[in-house]
Structure 1
Amino acid sequence: MAAPASADITSKTISATELHHSMGHYRGVREIARQIGRSPATISRELRRNAATRGGKLEYRALVAQWKAQQGAKRPKTAKLVANEELRTYVQDRLAGVVRRPDGTLVVGPTPPEWKGLNKPHRADRRWSLAWSPEQISQRLRVDYPDDESMRISHEAIYQSLFIEGRGALKRELVACLRTGRALREPRARSRNKPQGHVTSDVVLSQRPPEAEDRAVPGHWEGDLIIGVGRSAIGTLVERRSRATLLVHLPRQQGWGEQAYVKNGPALGGYGAIAMNAALTASMAELPQQLRKTLTWDRGKELSAHAQFAMDTGTQVFFADPHSPWQRPSNENTNGLLRQYFPKGTDLSRWSAADLEAIAYTLNNRPRKALEWRTPAEVFGEQLHSGKRPGVASTD
C-alpha cells in the first residue's frame, strides 16, 4: 500500500519536496537518511516506489512522487482477498484445512463447541485443521506461484481480513484455526521440575557434541512429553535440522483405572520409565543409524532408564538444564503447535497410534520459515536419500 510521501517518512513532517531538495547534490541514501532523521530503508523504499519512470529510468521528482503517493492513498480500496477469488480460496483452504493420512483418507477429529467470537475456550476440544499461519501462507504463495504476481499477499493483510471489521473477506470463525486461537498472547509458565538423580555429569547438555548445536548435521533430536488429564501423555520427538516430528503413542498399561492411584506405585499411565523406553525405542529403531545420533530431553523422570535406551538404539541421551526450555527450542515450538490438536485439560489416551501418525504427517507437510519455506518432510527426505547413496553406510 503506497502512502503519501509526507506520511511514509513519518513522525516529523517531511514532504517529497524536502526529500528532493536533500537529493539536490546527489547524496547517497544513507546520507539523506542521516540528514532528515529517517531509516535508510525508508528512503530507499520511497525512491523505488514513487520515482518517475516515464523517461525509461528511475528518477525521483518531488511533484511526481507526491502525486503517486496521493493516488495510492485514496480510500476506500478493494481488498485483494475480495477481488481475487483464486487467492481467497488458497488462503481460506490453508487456514481451515483438514487432517489427512498419507493415503488421503480423512481423520475425523473432535467436535468443538460452537464458535461464539470469543478467545479460545479453555479445557475444551478445538477443531483439528491444517492451520497454516498467515506468514506460512504468504511465503508459500511465492513457491507455488513463482510467475504469478497476482497471487501475492502479506501476512498482515490476512490477519487484518480476519480481525478487522470491514476487511472481512475471510470467514471470521477461521480465527479459531490460528495457532493461538486467541487475539492476545499469554506468557507461558516455566516448568517447576527439580534436578533428578538420574541426570549425571556425563549426560548434561554441556557434554552434547558441538555438531548438534549448529544444526548442520542431521540426526540430532529433541524430545519431551505433552501431558493431558488422567496422567495421559504423548511423546514428541523433533529432529533439529529438518524439524521433522515423530509422535510417540503411550497407551495405558494393564490395570489402569481398576484401583485408586497409589503414590510411588506402578506407573500405569503409559509413560513410566519402562513403558517410555519401549515406546521410544520402537519409534527411533525405524530410523537409519546416522539419523539417530543424540536425543536431548527435559529433566522428567520418564527417561530415567536412559542408559538402557542408549544401549538399545545407539542414541546418546542428554538432558537440558533445569527451567531451561529454550535449550530445546524446536521441541518447545512443536509442542505449542501440537496443543492445537491436543488442548490442555483433555484426555490424550483416546487417540490411537494411527491418529498420531496422521497429525505428525500434517505437521511435517507444513512449510517452515526456518527451512526457507520448504516442509520438514522435504528436508528429512533429502537427509534419508543422502544417507542411502552408494558408499554411505545406513541401517534401516
Structure 2
Amino acid sequence: MDGVSTAPVGLAALEKHLHPRFLTLAEREQIRDLRGAGQSLRAIGQALGRPASTVMREIRANSGTQGYQPYAAHRAAAARRPRPKDRKLLRESPLRHFVRDGLRQRWSPEQICHALVQEHPDDQSMRVSVETIYQALYFQARGSLKREVQTAIRSGRTRRKPHRDPAARTPRFTDPMVMISDRPADIEDRAVPGHWEGDLIIGANSRSAIATLVERITRYTMLVHLPGGAHDAETVRDGLVRTIQTLPAHLRGSLTWGQGSEMARHKQFTMATGMPVYFCDPASPWQRGSNENTNGLLRQYFPKGTDLSVHSPEDLEHVAQELNGRPRKTLGRANPAAAST
C-alpha cells in the first residue's frame, strides 16, 4: 500500500507488549471502524481514551491509496520501532550542517525545526524533531564539547534535568484542571485563530510580575499589567479577564498555561471570559513554546533581576506594539500585527 512501509516484520515484533502510550492493533482496528462510520477525530480519540491529535497523526502517517488499513499500519509501526537506529545528527549531511549553523547563531532547537520546514518545504530528509536535537547535543556533551553545548543551549545545562513523575504530585488547585492532552486537535495544530498561551515573567526576588499572552498562530502578544506587580491568583485573574475582554468574541478561543499557583482561580476566569484553560504537564514549558520564546524576547525590555512594578500600563503597551511590529521568520518575515489583521 502506497505511503505505508510494507517491509517484512517478525511475529515477535508485531506481538511485543509495549508501553501503553503506543497504539495497539485493537485500537487501530477501532480507528478504522469509527473512521468508516464517519466519526470525527475528537470522537475517535474519546472512544480510545487518547488525544485527538494522536489519532490524527496515526491516520496521516499510515494511510495510503486504500485509506487507513490497521494491519498495514501496525506492521509499519513495528518496522519503525527497532533500535538502535543511526543517530540522525551524528552523520555528515545537509541536515546536520543546517542544525549546526542554527545553533551557532544561538537559535533554539524549536526555531531550527520551524526553519527547516519553511526553507525546505518539500524535502522530508530535512526534518528533525526538537527532542532529537537535544539528544544529539547532550550525547556529545563530553570533555571539550561541553563548552559548545553550553553555548548552544540557553539553559547552560550539559545534562538532562530529570522530570518528576506527574502522578506523584499533589493536585495544586481546588478546581480540577483540564490537561493539555485533552486540548482539541484544531488548537494543537494551530488551525484556528484565537487560542492563546500565557505565563508570568517574574521580577527581582519574585516581588513583581507581568503576565504575557501570545496568540498561537500569529504570535501576537499582549502584556497584562498587574497593579504593584502583585501576582497572586486574584490579581492575575482580574488582569487576564480585563485584557481578554478587550478582544472580539472570535479571538476568545482558549488559554494554555503552566501549573503555577497564580492560575488557582482558573474556573472563575473561564466563567468571566468563556475561554477554557488547558494546563501543561509539570515542568514542560515546551508545551507552550510560542509563549516561552516570546518571554525570552521580552527579557530584552524587562531584564531579570529588575523591579517590574515600575512599568506602567502605557509602558507595557509600547513594548507589545514594538514586539508585534517585529518581522518573524515563522510568519514568512511578516510581523504579528500584520498577520493578525
TM-score when scaled to structure 2?
Answer: 0.51
Superposed CA offset, 1:238-269 (max 9, x none):
000100000000122xxxxxxxxxxxxxxxx5
Partner of 1:272: 232
Is 1:348 equivalent to 2:308 in the alignment? Answer: yes
2:194 corresponds, among 208, 213, 219, to 219
Is 1:240 equivalent to 2:216 in the alignment? Answer: yes
Q: Aligned pair in 2 of structure 1 residues 207, 248: CA closer, same or farther (>3 Å)?
A: same
Separation (CA, whole Å) in 2 of partners of 1:299 and 1:222: 13
Is 1:367 equivalent to 2:327 in the alignment? Answer: yes
Superposed CA offset, 1:272-318 (max 9, x none):
11111110001000001110110000110001000000000011101
Matches within 5 A, 1:77-96: none
Shift of 1:342: 0.8
Separation (CA, whole Å) in 1 of partners of 2:272 and 2:170: 25
Is 1:187 equivalent to 2:162 in the alignment? Answer: no
Shift of 1:195: 6.0
The residue type paired with residue 310 of structure 1 is: T
Shift of 1:210: 1.2
Separation (CA, whole Å) in 2 of partners of 1:224 and 1:290: 22
Q: Aligned pair in 2 of structure 1 residues 199, 244: CA closer, same or farther (>3 Å)?
A: farther
Partner of 2:298: 338
SS at match of 1:328: helix
SS at match of 1:356: helix
2:178 corresponds, among 195, 200, 203, to 203
Partner of 2:254: 294
Q: Percent identity?
A: 53
Query: Is this contact kept in 1: 2:175–2:267, CA < 8 A?
Result: no
Q: Aligned pair in 2 of structure 1 residues 201, 184: CA closer, same or farther (>3 Å)?
A: same
1:318 corresponds, among 272, 278, 287, to 278
Superposed CA offset, 1:317-364 (max 9, x none):
011000101100000000000011111111111010000000000000
Separation (CA, whole Å) in 2 of partners of 1:281 and 1:356: 17
Q: Aligned pair in 2 of structure 1 residues 204, 225: CA closer, same or farther (>3 Å)?
A: same
Task: Report how many residues are paired.
Answer: 189
Query: Is this contact kept in 1: 2:210–2:308, CA < 8 A?
Result: yes
Partner of 1:327: 287
Separation (CA, whole Å) in 2 of partners of 1:202 and 1:250: 24
The residue type paired with residue 210 of structure 2 is: I
Separation (CA, whole Å) in 1 of partners of 2:153 and 2:180: 29
Shift of 1:187: 3.2
Ranges in structure 2 where 5+ consecutive residues have no aligned partner: 1-91, 96-110, 116-149
Q: Aligned pair in 2 of structure 1 residues 372, 311: CA closer, same or farther (>3 Å)?
A: same
Separation (CA, whole Å) in 1 of partners of 2:287 and 2:178: 14
TM-score when scaled to structure 1?
Answer: 0.44
Separation (CA, whole Å) in 2 of partners of 1:328 and 1:40: 29
Q: Larger Cα Rg: Structure 1 or Structure 2?
A: 1
Separation (CA, whole Å) in 1 of partners of 2:170 and 2:209: 21
Structure holding more helix per residue: 2
Shift of 1:201: 5.6
The residue type paired with residue 220 of structure 2 is: A
Superposed CA offset, 1:84-113 (max 9, x none):
xxxxxxxxxxxxxxxxxxxxxxxxxxxxxx
Matches within 5 A, 1:1-396: 184-185=151-152, 187-188=154-155, 196-198=171-173, 203-230=178-205, 231-252=207-228, 270-381=230-341
Q: Aligned pair in 2 of structure 1 residues 197, 340: CA closer, same or farther (>3 Å)?
A: same
- RMSD over aligned Cα atoms: 2.8
Query: Is this contact kept in 1: 2:203–2:307, CA < 8 A?
Result: yes
Ranges in structure 1 where 5+ consecutive residues have no aligned partner: 1-37, 42-134, 140-182, 253-268, 382-396
Superposed CA offset, 1:54-78 (max 9, x none):
xxxxxxxxxxxxxxxxxxxxxxxxx
